Amino acid sequence: MSSGAEVTCSEVHRTYQMGRQSRLRRLLGRERSVPEVNAIDGVSIEVGRGEFVGLAGPSGSGKTTLLHLIAGLETPTAGTVTVDGVRLDELSSRERTRFRLDTVGVVFQRFHLLGSLSARANVALPLLERGEPKARRRERAANLLEQVGLGDRLAHRPGQLSGGERQRVAVARALATDPSLVVADEPTGELDSETADRVLDALAAVTADRTVVLASHDDRALDRTDRVIELTDAERTRAVPTTDAV
């Protein structure tokens, strides 16, 4: 079992361009200004090993963008993101992909299971990329599905599972490679309250001792975290301080 990762974001900025400069315009020297949006602007946070941290804030405050940066799905426009001493902004795209495989488990709001594969095959997928033997992949996937309460759904395809069951499969998949860091974006966003509780129970059960960063609007989800970091609207507030809340 992993002991959890240490995450540090320091003065992180992430800007998106709204549209693209055409090559023709560039060639003709008739470039026009492309509007930019600051998704996050000067965010600094620290997450200790084994912490379960919630990210809260209104829509547009940059919760998802911050998760992208921590998971290495994107790189900051400025500032640094460090996970266990590794500067993610200095890694190539290929290195970041490998980093995610080894270090990060991701839980999506809309599950995003591969519809043509069984629950067990979905969970085993990251292990396939590692070249693990088939028997070990199957055993590991079955164990994880057992832990999230889906031991009797191994052969079911996503289309044959309920929303809560799908999200629990996604939680099991995020844990397949035994990552030290788990990021979850609105994992209960598409679920009713009872189902959401079951998913959160599963998440808590399998992520003990790991570092978890969870972005959510759902107070019940945030209640389960060790602490909550409140992000304010980046459009309105250019510098967002680290805030311990609740």
Partner 1 sequence: MIRDRLRRLVGLAGLGVRRVVGRSTGPGGRRTIAGVVGTAVAVALLVSVTGVGVALAADATVLGSDVDYWIVPESGESSVLVASDTPELGSVHDATARIDDGADYATPVLTRPIRMEAGNAQEYVLVVGVIGAPDASNVAGASPQALTPGDPHYANGSYDGPWTGDLVATEGAARVLDVDENDAVTPTGSNRSFTVVNVDRSSGSPTVDLPIVLVHLSELQVLVGADEHDSANQFLVATNDRGVRSELAGLYDGATVETRSSLLAQETVDEGLPLALAIAGLLAALIVGVLFVSVTIGLEVLDQGPELSTMQAMGIGRRSRLLVIGVQTLATAAVGGLLGVALGWLVVFGIDRGIASAVGIPGAAMFHPLLIPYGIGIALVVGLLALPPVLWLVERASSGSRVI
Give contact residues for partner 1 (rule: CB under 8 A).
64, 67-68, 71, 73-74, 94, 97-102, 104, 106, 108-110, 112-117, 121, 125-126, 128-134, 157, 159, 173, 177, 183, 185
Nearer to partner 1, 48 or 117 (CB): 117
Nearer to partner 1, 19 or 133 (CB): 133
Integer Cα distance of 14 and 80 in angstroms: 11
Nearer to partner 1, 129 or 235 (CB): 129
Helix, strand or coil for residue 201? helix
* Strand arrangement, sheet containing 52-56: 104-107, 181-185, 211-215, 52-56, 227-230, 244-245
Residue 227 CB, nearest approach to partner 1 (Å): 22
Integer Cα distance of 123 and 145 in angstroms: 8
Residue 164 CB, nearest approach to partner 1 (Å): 19
Nearer to partner 1, 32 or 106 (CB): 106
Own/partner long-range contacts of 196-199 (Cβ < 8 Å, ≥24 apart): 196/164, 196/220, 196/221, 198/149, 198/164, 198/168, 199/164, 199/167, 199/168, 199/171
Residue 126 CB, nearest approach to partner 1 (Å): 5
Helix, strand or coil for residue 148? coil
- Beta bridge pairs of residue 40: 14
Residue 125 CB, nearest approach to partner 1 (Å): 7
Residue 28 CB, nearest approach to partner 1 (Å): 26
Give me 6's structure tokens: 């240490």
Integer Cα distance of 157 and 111 in angstroms: 13
Nearer to partner 1, 30 or 94 (CB): 94
> Which of left, alpha, beta for 242 (phi over 0: left; psi -120 to 50: alpha)?
beta
**Helices and strands (H, E) in the chain, number of each type:** 8, 10
Residue 157 CB, nearest approach to partner 1 (Å): 7
Nearer to partner 1, 125 or 204 (CB): 125
Nearer to partner 1, 73 or 154 (CB): 73
If one counts every other C-beta atom within 10 angstroms of the C-beta of residue 138, the result is 17
Integer Cα distance of 84 and 217 in angstroms: 27
Residue 177 CB, nearest approach to partner 1 (Å): 7
